[in-house]
Chains A and B, each alone.
Chain A
Amino acid sequence: MCLSIPSKVVKIDKENNMATVDTMGVKRDASLDLMAEDDVKVGDYVLLHIGFIMNKIDEEDAMLSLETYKEIIEAMDEEERQRTILEDDNCVNRGV
Chain B
Amino acid sequence: MQLELKNLYNDFRDAKTIKAYAKIIQEDAKKLNKEIHIMEVCGGHTHTIMKYGVLQLLPQNIKFVHGPGCPVCIMPKERIDHAYVLAMQSDVILVTLGDMIKVPGSNGSLQDARSKGADVRFVYSPMDCLKIASENPDKKIIFFAIGFETTTPMTAALLNAVINKNIPNIFFHINHVTVPEAMAALIADDASNIDAFLGPAHVSVISGSKIYEEFPRDYKKTVVVSGFEPVDVMQSISMIVKQFIENRCELEVEYKRAVSYEGNSKAQELINKYFEKAQNFRWRGLGDIPRSGLRLRDEYDALNAEVLYKDILPTQKIDDHKLCICGDILRGKATPPQCTIFGTACKPTTPIGSCMVSSEGACAAYYKYGNLI
- Asked if A and B are interacting partners, one says yes
Chain A's closest residue to B150 (CB) is: A2
**Are the C-beta atoms of A66 and B7 separated by less than 8 Å?**
yes
Q: Are A36 and B3 in contact (CB under 8 A)?
A: no
Contact status A63-B202, CB under 8 Å? no
A residues near B12, Cβ cutoff 8 Å? 65
Task: Report how many residues on chain A are interfacial, defined by Cβ distance under 8 Å.
Answer: 35
Q: Are A47 and B205 in contact (CB under 8 A)?
A: yes
Is B128 an interface residue, CB under 8 A from the partner?
yes
Contact B205 A63 (CB under 8 A): no
| A residues less than 8 Å from B14 (CB atoms) | 69
Say how far B331's CB is from chain A's closest CB, in angstroms.
20
Interface: A91 (CB within 8 A): no
In the complex, what's the smallest C-beta–C-beta distance from B122 to chain A, in angstroms?
12
**B residues in contact with A35, CB < 8 Å:** 264, 266
Residues of A within 8 A of B47 (CB): 3
Complex-state Cα separation, A94 to B148, whole angstroms: 63
Q: Does B199 contact A (CB under 8 A)?
A: no
For A47, list chain B residues within 8 Å (CB). 202, 205, 258
Cα A23 to Cα B129 with chains together (Å): 23
Chain B proximity of A22: nearest CB distance (Å): 7
- Residue of A31, A45, A50 ringed by the most chain B CB atoms within 10 A: A50
Are A1 and B160 interface neighbours, CB within 8 A?
no
Which residues B265-288 have CB closer than 8 A to chain A? 265-267, 270
Smallest CB-CB separation from A75: which chain B residue?
B20
Looking at the complex, which one of B21, B200, B258, B265 makes contact with A58 (CB distance below 8 Å)? B258
Does A4 reach chain B (CB closer than 8 Å)? Answer: yes
Q: Who on chain B is nearest to A64 by CB?
A: B256
* Candidates A3, A51, A54, A59; contact of B3 at CB < 8 Å: A59
Q: Is the CB of A63 within 8 A of B1?
A: yes
The answer to whether A3 and B228 touch across the interface, beta carbons within 8 angstroms, is: yes
Partner of B20, one of A1, A59, A64, A76: A76
Tell me the nearest residue of chain A to B23, going by C-beta. Answer: A76
Q: Which residues of A contact B20 (CB under 8 A)?
A: 69, 72-73, 76
Give 4 nearest A-B pairs by CB, closest first: A51-B125, A6-B8, A61-B257, A62-B257
Q: Chain A residues in contact with chain B, CB under 8 A? A: 1-4, 6-8, 22, 24, 31, 33-36, 45, 47, 49-52, 54-55, 57-59, 61-66, 69, 72-73, 76
